[in-house]
A and B are shown apart, each in its own frame.
Chain A
Amino acid sequence: MLLKDKVAIVTGAAQGIGQAIATALALEGASLAVCDRRLGELTQALGDLKATDQGHRAYQVDVSNAAQVRSFVDKAAGDYGRIDILVNNAGIIIRNAVLDISGAEWDKVFDVNVKGPFLLTQAVARHMVEHKIAGSIVNIASTSAQYAQVNKATYATTKAALVHLTRCAAVELAPYDIRVNAICPGPTLTAQIADRVSEEYLRGKGMILPGVGMPEDVARAVLFVVSDAARRVTGAQLNIDSGQQLY
């Protein structure tokens, strides 16, 4: 058990990669404070973790809302007594050409994908600093942060911003022994896209390893960076993209 007695926050944990991360952390012994905007689906996702019950709790939170984030982090810290791990996974995508993106859409994607991780990082880091917890923060970015694709202007821009937030936070929090890293998934076959995207389609995107990336692959990487195996790793970005970037 890599994470026995650790308490982990995972945002956007109701489905997909977030759910896989929550499951992986729970299986290694962590107690989870999971949050999502959709409490129903989140509670259901949590139900699947009953077998590992370390006293997981679900919270309804909009990560872009500063007041909600503050009260969530306070509540989770109160409920568990400590927070050791934060996984900023919640994110949204709106696909649009730049000529069609409205200012409101731009704001919405930035609020969830960049401001949300900033608010959570700040709130959780303050808790870690106050309680002298050598914690670990992981931001789920995307390989879209590293290259440009059409119709992803807002999404790709937010993920690049998130990767740089990772680096800046890593430098500022290092004196407190808090590590901050980014995981950049490439195309990942989540349940949410499985009904409209085939494995074959994803394979056509230039991944050089056989098979396609699954949510569990991302979760395994998260497990590595939050564990002691990565205790000298901070400010890094780790691509989980089946080597797509090389191609």
Chain B
Amino acid sequence: MLQGKVAIVTGAAQGIGRAIVHRFAAAGASLAMCDLNLDGLELLCTELPAASPEHLAYRLDVGDEDAVNTVVEKIVQRFGHTDILVNNAGIFKRGWLLELTESEWDETMRVNAKGPFLMTKAVVKQMIAQQQGGKIINIGSISGQIVQAGKVHYAVSKAALMHFSRVMAVELGPHGIQVNVISPGPTVTPQIAPVDPQDYLSRHYIPLGKMAQPEDHAAAALFLASPASNHITGQVLNVDGGEFVTRKRPEARFPMDR
């Protein structure tokens, strides 16, 4: 489905990013994988089908403007073009409004909001020059839409990313570039590995009956990266098992345990 396409995936070394890499590679894309964790990327490279499309790993801090520009330039030189960008890199830490430090706030906004901006800016320059359109997929979060206490900086950064995506859809539409968001609900990833799915399910109502796996988001990303979604832009696709379409809350979430 993605034969001949070059896809850049940030935060590719683990969790949702890693699942997206696997899925895109299986669909025939060449992957330019970015992450702070280069060892993790190289390990991932060895897991990918060894067949023809080339896959390369780049060490990258997405919040660093110079590094972003350098890496995107390298990718374009090496692959000749770029067709898909997945802004997946993000950080998550708990933090309460009354206790958050300035540096915790800054770091979360830098990686989760400014990072996708810098990546988008660098990559769309190339996409516009190619005159073939392009697909940008931003990984938001249900936390950017609803409110849960104890993660204000993360939630605000994701809300920013999601609205940035809408503005980009409007601004880049004339170039044939689509910008959409996948909004994952609670997902079994290394980031939240300490959460026991059974325990989560006993306290929360998910209509489809289970927590998301990274592969669920990868499948949605493949749809948004493929021609099947050619007339879709500026949209947020929730992948949450239906958890947040309802207001039914078997366990009162508030006041929350700290």
Pairing of A with B: yes
Contacts of A118 in B (CB 8 A): 100, 105, 152-153, 156
A148 at the interface (CB under 8 A from B): yes
Shortest C-beta distance, A212 to chain B (Å), equals: 24
Q: Are B106 and A115 in contact (CB under 8 A)?
A: yes
Q: Are B118 and A168 in contact (CB under 8 A)?
A: no
Contacts of B23 in A (CB 8 A): none
Once A125-B97, A172-B96 are accepted as A-B contacts, the answer to whether A165 and B156 lie under 8 Å apart by CB is yes
Out of A66, A110, A173, name the residue touching B114 (CB < 8 Å). Answer: A110
| Stretch from B50-58, B165-173, B240-248 at the A interface | B165-173
B79 at the interface (CB under 8 A from A): no
Interface magnitude class on chain A = 35 or more
Q: Are A161 and B166 in contact (CB under 8 A)?
A: no
Number of A-B contacts (CB under 8 A): 124
Once A106-B117, A168-B152, A175-B255 are accepted as A-B contacts, the answer to whether A157 and B160 lie under 8 Å apart by CB is yes
For window 151-190 of A, CB contacts with B under 8 Å fall at 151-153, 156-161, 163-165, 167-175
For chain A, what secondary structure do more than half of its interface residues adopt (helix, strand, loop), or is it mixed? helix
User: Closest residue to A174 on the B side, CB-wise?
Assistant: B254
A24 at the interface (CB under 8 A from B): no
A220 at the interface (CB under 8 A from B): no
Shortest C-beta distance, A65 to chain B (Å), equals: 10
Q: Are B124 and A98 in contact (CB under 8 A)?
A: yes
Contacts of A103 in B (CB 8 A): 65, 114, 117-118
User: Closest residue to A129 on the B side, CB-wise?
Assistant: B98
| Stretch from B7-15, B35-43, B143-151, B189-197 at the A interface | B143-151
Q: Are A98 and B172 in contact (CB under 8 A)?
A: yes
Give 7 pairs: A residue, B residue, CB < 8 Å, sorted on A.
A99-B121, A148-B234, A153-B171, A161-B159, A164-B156, A171-B148, A172-B96
Nearest first, the 8 A-B pairs at minimum CB distance are A160-B163, A164-B159, A161-B160, A103-B65, A148-B166, A168-B152, A148-B170, A148-B167
A-binding residues in B (CB < 8 A): 65, 96-98, 100, 102, 105-106, 109, 113-114, 117-118, 120-121, 124-125, 128, 144, 147-153, 155-157, 159-160, 162-164, 166-172, 234, 254-255
B-binding residues in A (CB < 8 A): 66, 97-99, 101, 103, 106-107, 110, 114-115, 118-119, 121-122, 125-126, 129, 145, 147-153, 156-161, 163-165, 167-175, 235
- Contacts beyond the supplied A119-B102, A159-B163, A164-B155: 20 A-B pairs with Cβ under 8 Å: A98-B117, A99-B124, A99-B128, A115-B109, A118-B105, A121-B97, A147-B166, A148-B234, A153-B171, A160-B160, A161-B159, A164-B159, A165-B152, A167-B147, A168-B149, A169-B97, A171-B147, A171-B148, A174-B254, A175-B255
